[in-house]
């Protein structure tokens, strides 16, 4: 024990030696740590990675910015190649007002707010005072926007503002779709919406051709990667990696812009004046099946989405809606009876009524026409006559007729969500009322397809809205005339056309209202009760579907026109007269296009010249040279849009509305027709309320005032 105590005492008496040993220990420990650090540093320098992370790549990722190269969505064009839906960007303007935002002493914020407000007021539908209010917010903020007035700006407006070189003024852009004609076969052309699930495809088609050919129209984004500094500026000599974007393809439609615009004007006029639930119109090339014009009301403007408010229908009435067509079906039942050899044109029948099972069926006028031959059943639109006709055909021939004409089957038109329709022949009463178009559900495309067999000597062709599609890789698919059946012979078709002529030309025909002097037209009118979802039919004459199927020239039909008017609730004007306000001018124009069957002198129409991108002076001079009237909207000096579109036919002295690149202002519309004001509404996308009849005599917004979000009321008055 004593020995151990002595050793501790010996150690305590040599503190210097202990410190020396501890110092040596620390030296070697530090040396080992330094050596380890040097080795680790050397390893990192040579290998270039830490914890499986490559340092160069990691550094590059910290300072690299990957910018998407936006692919252009392909265009939809009319039969002449004129764009009716095309890629565009809209822009939102914003102002940086934080005075700390500078670079190298340069002010990057709005330094002169008064000047900025004065300049922006020339391009935005806002007053200087309102812009100043935005630039002087109550709370401190880095940047401000200008409300709805500062959104959805065009590229031309952005460039003009940028040319003013206003410090602190910037723009954000977003993919958009330009529909230059506004309301223009909207349900057929379709609509795009922002795609929230796929950033590489910012827009996706949700309706019409936009949806049907979305894969061909949608492009694929590219990208560009480069190193930037903390402020987002590209570093000097930075390497740039680029993958080009692949733009979308092109869809060439069958639509004729001139006819489509004219049809839209006619439909809009009816919609404004009468209180119908819906009205539709289609023009088809009888030989090829091409849809030249197609419209419906209610409708919407794809540029502004006006008309697609909550609760509005997104359905294309022409292909997605099924309905009971009424007496137009008599055309095809007559054709089936003639083809089957059961039609007896010279045999007389009592048209006062016919009993089927326990049901007595009367004619549409409730009393009939007395004893008449079956040859008058179609012109008079006798329901009783057609009950007899389908009974004489027999169930097998009736079923064959419906099948051969394509009813209960999709036509295959290249539009989404096409309905099938259907019928049931198991009941004697149902078979009887099908003779005059009740208890059978069809689509408008099925009616048009079946009508081609009558027009083409028995050859039935498929309806088409597209002639050619080019995909993003350049592959071309052509949609040519397609024969889908031969339900009747040429002799049968000729006989049916003669009966349809009598509908218009005979004094007892139901279509005498639609007669055009000097024109050879074959037609069939239709009136159908509308089915009640709860069973049976809706009561009253206002709950009916009125229609007209017309072919011209009847000797060799080139055009088929089909019009429908549903639930003419106002009943201030007979439905046939309402439809005639569409049919008469439309068919007159069609006949003018057909060589040798001119209903309107060709000298009265001229081709509208292209004015877009021209100076205001040059555009006005070009229109005056064509004897057209130029009306200017806006304060700019360059034309950005026009209606009617370039290349379309217009009557001499017709008004061409020109939209300039300046602030959108209200023109003086005194003396304008309703169709001219509707052009103004389509072109500007603003809300207009039309009152009265005749020509414009007053307007609620003074000429030269900015067109805002409010409704402009234009009053019309007849002149003696």
DSSP sequence for 361-397 = E--TTSS--SEEEGGGTTTTT-HHHHHHHHHHHHHHH
Alpha helices in 195-249 (DSSP H): 208-212, 214-217
Cα separation, 283 vs 328, in Å, equals 16
327 is catalytic: yes
Sort residue 567 into left (φ over 0), alpha (ψ -120 to 50) or beta: left
Task: For residue 644, say if its preceding peptide bond is cis, omega within 30 degrees of 0.
Answer: yes
Cα separation, 335 vs 451, in Å, equals 11
> What number of other Cβ atoms are within 10 A of residue 252's Cβ?
20
Q: Which residue has the tokens 């048009």?
A: 448
Cα separation, 301 vs 184, in Å, equals 8
Cα separation, 72 vs 220, in Å, equals 8
| Count of positions (residues) in the chain | 720
| Among 262, 255, 263, 301, CA closest to 279 | 263
pLDDT along the chain (720 residues), means of 10: 52 66 76 76 64 56 62 89 84 90 85 94 92 92 89 83 92 81 92 72 88 91 66 60 84 92 90 87 97 94 80 87 96 98 96 92 90 96 96 97 97 97 95 96 98 97 97 92 97 97 94 91 94 86 92 95 89 86 91 53 67 88 87 87 79 83 86 80 80 82 86 77
Element (DSSP H or E) covering residue 49: strand 49-50
Residue 296: per-residue pLDDT: 95
* HSE-CB of 478 using CA atoms within 13 angstroms: 3
Active-site hit among 258, 327, 381, 439: 327
Question: What are residue 67's DSSP bridge partners?
Answer: 224
Tokens describing residue 283: 């023009």
Cα separation, 188 vs 465, in Å, equals 8
Cβ contact 296:280 at 8 Å: yes
Q: Which residue has the tokens 């008079």?
A: 380
Burial 149-158 (b: 16+ CB within 10 A, else e): bbeebbbbbb
Cα separation, 188 vs 369, in Å, equals 42
Number of H helices, E strands in the chain: 18, 37
Cα separation, 159 vs 592, in Å, equals 44
Report angle CA 411, 412, 418 to the nearest 5 degrees.
80
Sort residue 147 into left (φ over 0), alpha (ψ -120 to 50) or beta: left
Within 8 A by CB and 6+ apart from 505, the residues are: 512, 515
Q: CA 607 → CA 263, 613, 628, 639, 653, distances in Å?
A: 17, 18, 10, 18, 12
Q: Write the DSSP symbol of residue 263.
A: H
Cα separation, 616 vs 620, in Å, equals 6
| Among 684, 622, 592, 660, CA closest to 258 | 592
Within 8 A by CB and 6+ apart from 292, the residues are: 79, 254, 255, 256, 259, 260, 283, 284, 285, 559
Beta strand 359-361 pairing with 354-356:
antiparallel
Element (DSSP H or E) covering residue 449: helix 444-455
Alpha helices in 541-647 (DSSP H): 575-593, 616-625
Q: Which residue has the tokens 């917010």?
A: 137
* pTM score: 0.71
């Amino acid at each position: 024990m004593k020995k151990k105590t002595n050793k501790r005492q010996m150690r305590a008496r040599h503190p210097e030696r202990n410190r020396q040993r501890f110092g040596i220990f620390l030296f070697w420990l530090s040396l080992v740590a330094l050596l380890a650090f040097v080795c680790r540093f050397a390893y990192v320098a040579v290998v270039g990675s830490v914890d499986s992370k490559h340092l160069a790549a990691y550094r590059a990722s910290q300072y690299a910015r990957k910018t998407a190269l936006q692919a252009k969505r392909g265009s939809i064009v009319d039969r002449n190649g004129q764009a009716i839906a095309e890629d565009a960007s809209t822009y939102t303007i914003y102002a940086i007002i934080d005075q700390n935002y500078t670079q190298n002493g340069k002010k990057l914020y709005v330094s002169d707010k008064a000047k900025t407000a004065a300049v922006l007021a020339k391009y935005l539908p806002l007053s200087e005072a309102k812009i100043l209010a935005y630039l002087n917010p109550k709370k401190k903020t880095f940047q401000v926007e200008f409300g709805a007035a500062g959104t959805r700006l065009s590229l031309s407006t952005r460039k003009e503002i940028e040319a003013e070189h206003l410090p602190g003024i910037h723009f954000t852009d977003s993919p958009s779709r330009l529909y230059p004609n506004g309301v223009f076969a909207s349900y057929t052309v379709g609509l795009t919406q922002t795609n929230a699930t796929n950033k590489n495809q910012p827009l996706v088609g949700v309706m019409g051709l936009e949806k049907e050919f979305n894969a061909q129209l949608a492009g694929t984004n590219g990208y560009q990667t480069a190193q930037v500094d903390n402020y987002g500026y590209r570093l000097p000599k930075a390497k740039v990696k680029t993958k080009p974007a692949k733009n979308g393809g092109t869809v060439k439609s069958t639509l004729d812009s001139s006819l489509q615009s004219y049809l839209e004007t006619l439909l809009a006029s009816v919609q404004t004046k009468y209180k119908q639930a819906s009205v539709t119109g289609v023009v088809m090339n009888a030989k090829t099946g091409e849809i030249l014009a197609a419209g419906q009301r209610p409708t919407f403007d794809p540029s502004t989405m006006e008309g697609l408010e909550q609760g509005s229908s997104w359905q294309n009435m022409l292909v997605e809606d099924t309905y009971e067509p009424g007496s137009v079906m008599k055309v095809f039942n007559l054709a089936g009876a003639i083809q089957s050899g059961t039609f007896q044109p010279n045999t007389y029948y009592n048209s006062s009524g016919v009993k089927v099972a326990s049901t007595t069926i009367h004619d549409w006028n409730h009393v009939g026409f007395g004893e008449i031959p079956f040859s008058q059943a179609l012109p008079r639109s006798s329901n009783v006559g057609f009950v007899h006709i389908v009974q004489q055909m027999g169930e097998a021939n009736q079923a064959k007729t419906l099948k051969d004409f394509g009813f209960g089957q999709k036509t295959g038109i290249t539009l989404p969500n096409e309905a099938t329709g259907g019928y049931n022949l198991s009941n004697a009463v149902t078979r009887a009322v099908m003779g005059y178009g009740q208890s059978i559900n069809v689509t408008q495309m099925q009616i048009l397809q079946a009508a081609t067999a009558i027009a083409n000597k028995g050859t039935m062709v498929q309806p088409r809205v597209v002639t050619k599609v080019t995909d993003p890789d350049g592959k071309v698919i052509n949609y040519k005339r397609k024969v889908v059946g031969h339900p009747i012979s040429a002799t049968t078709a000729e006989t049916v056309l003669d009966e349809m002529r009598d509908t218009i030309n005979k004094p007892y025909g139901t279509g005498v209202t639609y007669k055009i002097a000097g024109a050879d037209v074959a037609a069939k009118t239709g009136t159908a009760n509308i089915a009640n979802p709860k069973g049976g039919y809706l009561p009253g004459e206002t709950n009916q579907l009125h229609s007209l199927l017309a072919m011209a020239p009847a000797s060799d039909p080139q055009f088929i026109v089909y019009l429908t008017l549903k639930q003419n609730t106002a009943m201030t004007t007979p439905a046939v007269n309402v439809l005639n306000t569409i049919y008469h001018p439309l068919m007159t124009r069609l006949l003018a296009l057909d060589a040798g069957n001119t209903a309107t002198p060709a000298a009265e129409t001229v081709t509208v010249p292209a004015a877009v991108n021209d100076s205001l002076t040059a555009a006005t001079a070009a229109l005056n040279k064509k004897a057209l009237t130029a009306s200017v909207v806006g304060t700019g000096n360059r034309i950005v849009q026009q209606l009617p579109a370039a290349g379309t036919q217009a009557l001499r002295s017709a008004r061409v509305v020109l939209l300039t690149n300046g602030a959108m202002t209200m023109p003086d519309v005194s003396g304008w027709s309703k169709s001219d004001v509707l052009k103004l509404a389509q072109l500007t996308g603003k809300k207009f309320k039309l009152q009265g009849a005749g020509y414009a005599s007053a307007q609620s917004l003074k000429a030269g005032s900015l067109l805002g979000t409010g409704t402009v009321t234009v009053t019309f008055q007849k002149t003696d």
